[in-house]
Amino acid sequence: MCAVLITGGAGYIGSHVNKLLSSQGVETVVFDSLVTGHADFLQWGEFVAGDLLDPAALDRAFAGPPIHAVLHFASFIAVGESVADPNKYYRNNVAATLNLLDAMVRHHVSGLVFSSSASVYGEPEQELLDEEHPMRPLSPYARSKAMVEQMLEDYHRAHGLASCRLRYFNAAGADPDGLLGERHEPETHLIPLVLQTALGLRPHISLYGTDYPTPDGTCIRDYIHVHDLAHAHALALDWLEQGETRAFNLGNGNGYSVREVVETARKVTGRDIPAEEAPRRDGDSPVLVASSARARAELGWAPGFGDLETIIRSAWDWHRKDCRN
Ligand SMILES: NC(=O)c1ccc[n+]([C@@H]2O[C@H](COP(=O)([O-])OP(=O)(O)OC[C@H]3O[C@@H](n4cnc5c(N)ncnc54)[C@H](O)[C@@H]3O)[C@@H](O)[C@H]2O)c1
């Protein structure tokens, strides 16, 4: 039987996808260096320890059960760090992906699902972003994602490598069974930071920019539950059979402001969450909300957790448990 290879399967999103695919009877092989991943997230499938920068380690990953497609999550993810240390990001996100693509060509594997990001769009020209919006990435992290998307188009042309480029908006929430959740070190995402504040692990949450042209002055983002992202990956594996390369946005199409996130977290947790106003950060767009019409029409995908309160509640259940371990 054929298997799928999951790079970065010990991380937040990759581990949720591994769990879902395994529950659907798909054989999985996780390839991860654990540089930011977690051994306790490795609960399904086979594990091959290794770094994408090491071609010999990659060959080991393809040496087990025959691989029919790759899901590529492994990368560094902190936008601010990428500005301070671009080499780290171009090496790990671009050069390492080149190694992976060459290993796929060597091992005759012709389909890849790639974790891209809404950050490839940069400053939005319209409120609801579709895939035709120009890509003007604002940071080395975002540029690394745009570069890999370009590489995938070139590998499709040259080697017939099919790829599904999934542009996630803000991933959030946790496994409904409570086995997995978001654990980044350092944490840079709003919902975990707010919940860590609710747990007393941080003194306050900073509201970066309160004078944006939005109803309450704070930035608006589209939060997508990690379980819905996982479903999109399962559908993307089927879509790859067409042999094409294409980008798809994955978001709910609902925008929530930073103040709304904090307010909803106060309601869900029943705790005081001190918030402090802070200056705007460079590169933050006022509003980023997805049109996922293409994913709905072509992948047959529909999010099941559209409501912010449900997303935050699942994250809260996880963070409360995780901080006790
Ligand atoms: N979290 C979000 O909101 C979000 C939004 C848009 C896109 N993404 C993308 O989704 C993907 C997964 O994000 P995440 O939040 O799960 O990140 P994560 O840090 O939790 O997981 C990344 C995993 O990749 C592994 N890894 C990194 N470099 C590696 C290498 N060179 N070789 C082998 N393993 C390596 C890490 O050990 C880790 O397990 C990333 O590509 C990220 O850019 C995430």
Residue 137 sits in a domain whose CATH number is 3.40.50.720
- Together in a domain, 199 and 60: no
Identify the domain containing residue 159 by its residue range.
Answer: 3-171+224-250
- Same domain as 273, residue 144: no
- Do 202 and 139 share a domain, yes or no? no
210, with CB counted inside 10 A (0-12, 13-18, 19+), is middle
Tell me the C-alpha distance between 298 and 65, whole Å: 30
The CA-atom distances, in angstroms, between 168 and each of 78, 81, 222, 253 are 15, 20, 10, 12
User: Are residues 118 and 288 in contact, defined by beta-carbon separation less than 8 angstroms?
Assistant: yes
In a domain, 273, yes or no: yes
Ligand 1: which residue has its CA nearest to atom 42? 77
- State whether 229 and 265 are in the same domain: no
Do 211 and 123 lie in one domain? The reply is no
Catalytic pick from 141, 155, 168, 256?
A: 141
Give the pLDDT confidence score for residue 42 in this predicted structure: 98
Say if 181 falls within a structural domain: no
Is 141 among the catalytic positions? yes
The series of mean pLDDT values per 10 residues for the chain, 325 residues long, is 93 98 98 97 98 97 96 95 95 98 97 96 90 94 97 98 98 95 92 96 95 95 97 98 98 96 98 95 85 98 93 96 78
- Residues having CB closer than 6 A to ligand 1 are 8, 10-14, 32-37, 51-53, 73-75, 77, 92, 96, 115, 117, 168, 170-171, 184, 189
Largest CA distance in the chain: 56
Q: Which of 7, 13, 191 to mutate to test the pocket of ligand 1 (most atoms within 8 A of CB)?
A: 13
Measure 32 CA to ligand 1 centroid, in angstroms. Answer: 10
Q: Based on the domain organization, do 233 and 213 belong to the same domain?
A: no
Task: Confirm whether 307 is domain-assigned.
Answer: yes
Indicate which residue's Cα is closest to atom 21 of ligand 1: 11
Predicted pLDDT at 325: 67
In a domain, 267, yes or no: yes
Domain count, the chain: 2
pLDDT, position 284: 80
Output the pLDDT for position 283.
Answer: 72
pTM: 0.97
Instruction: Find the CATH number of the domain harbouring 271.
Output: 3.90.25.10
Residue 264 lies in a domain: yes
